[in-house]
Amino acid sequence: MPVVVEPLVVTDAAPVTTAWQRDRPLRVEAFLGFTSGPRVAVQEGLNGVRGMAVIPVVAFHLGYSNLLGGAQLVMSLFFTQSGFLIATLILHEYDRTGAFRLGPFWAARARRILPPAWLTIAAVGLVRLLTDSLPNPDRLDLVTAFAHVSNWYLYFSDAITDAVVEGRSSVLNHFWSLSVEEQFYVFIAFVSLWLFRTKRRPLIVLRWIALVGMTASFLLPFVFDMGEERVFYGTDARAGELLIGVAMATFIVSRPVREGMLRHRWPIVAASAGALVTAWVLFHYARPRTGMLENGLLPVGSVLWVLVIVGAMLPDGPVAWLMHGRLLRWLGQYSYGIYAYHFPVLTVARFYLDVHPLLLTAIVVAITLALAMASYRYVEIPIRRQRLRGRPLAVGAAVVLATIVVTTALT
């Protein structure tokens, strides 16, 4: 039975006093219309989730590990939300057109992911040519980051020893997570193409593939007695976090399911709030070298983040209220650029500036935000919306590629 959104009536008994209350019908409409229109409807709460997630990552790298030593858990949130959104886009396209095409899918992913990544790699390569003093990447760091396989390179090289034992870290170490996501996008694209061409009920089959694959991925550390680094960097061990997002999408993509969630929202709201509090507690205690990562932290974190994501999409509750906050949504808008640029900026700033940690934090945050905003406005959005295309785009891509090739060859 469809959910009827009643008009908002202001009475003396329940006056509408805040913008949050006034905007509730818009949030209900956005949630119910998530996949009901020609395009997937923007969920402002999910922007807030991204904004919240990028804060502990940057804080951890800045050295505030005593407060957020378990910020590694937040990567589960990025992976789970990525799996959820990418599966939603795929299922929505199939429902709307009856087909799934690899070309447009990968073109859209390239427009979304490659510009900040390529700019970062090219800039790091140029810095590497200017000085040998910085803990800059070697040739394989540049190549593997560009090829989106840096997670495996970091595991099989001495990069982990450099970062953990000797206190040195490559400027491109943070590209490991982008590599995991890109490898997963290749996998999910081919699986979806196969399902939509051969199966009568592809959504159901995709749901079971996601659930079985998720379970297998989460069991790998126990079955093969994997160490912390193997779990942290391995695509197979991290795939469960992405697949739980895919499984989540196979349910929420249905409007009747969303209508049912809206009718019974308060238990979900309570569970979501509890999950967010639990996750922040784990941020403090789930530190590296505690053994939690290889002993069940990933499935626990993924379940918590599923509840948080659902709570952020619903129109009511403390999680939705928090994630719709202006600051978190603003940070979420620039979160990808912040993630891509903050670590190289921090590494260079630490080398050249001998200042108080709080002043260093202020400088790094200011430069990172400026770069992320400029990149978003002048590079990412024009490319994503295809306002920048043709010869200017080809010339820009050629310059970046040439920079990467030259700096890699000369390193």
14 assigned to some structural domain: no
245 assigned to some structural domain: yes
Separation CA 229–CA 224 (nearest Å): 13
Q: Which amino acid appears at position 372 of this protein?
A: A
Q: Looking up tokens 């034992």, which residue turns up?
A: 165
Cβ partners under 8 Å of residue 139, min gap 6: 408, 411
**Dihedral sign, CA of 315, 317, 320, 325?**
positive
At 166 the pLDDT is 44
6 assigned to some structural domain: no
8 assigned to some structural domain: no
**Dmax of the chain from CA atoms?**
74
**Dihedral sign, CA of 353, 359, 361, 365?**
negative
93 assigned to some structural domain: yes
Distance of CA 263 to the CA centre of its chain: 29
Q: Block means of pLDDT (10 residues each) for the chain, length 411 residues? A: 40 62 91 90 93 90 73 85 95 90 88 89 82 64 87 78 51 90 94 90 94 95 88 93 96 94 95 93 73 81 94 95 95 95 90 89 96 93 76 72 75 60
3 assigned to some structural domain: no
Q: Which amino acid appears at position 365 of this protein?
A: V
At 7 the pLDDT is 39
DSSP tag of 108: H
At 147 the pLDDT is 87
Separation CA 156–CA 173 (nearest Å): 13
Radius of gyration for the chain, computed over Cα atoms and rounded to the nearest angstrom: 22
Tokens of 243: 């697949």
At 387 the pLDDT is 67
For the chain, how many structural domains are there in total?
1
CB 120 within 8 A of CB 403: no
CB 235 within 8 A of CB 180: yes
Nearest-5° Cα angle at 114, 57 to 78? 30
At 146 the pLDDT is 86
167 assigned to some structural domain: yes
CB 365 within 8 A of CB 58: yes
**Dihedral sign, CA of 59, 156, 226, 218?**
positive
CB 261 within 8 A of CB 254: no
2 assigned to some structural domain: no
Please report how many Cα atoms fall inside a 13 Å half-sphere around the Cα of residue 273, on the Cβ side.
12
Residue 355 backbone dihedrals phi, psi, to 5 degrees: -130, 170
The residue range of the domain holding 51 is 19-410
Tell which residue, 306, 305, 314, 301, has the closest CA to residue 269. Answer: 314
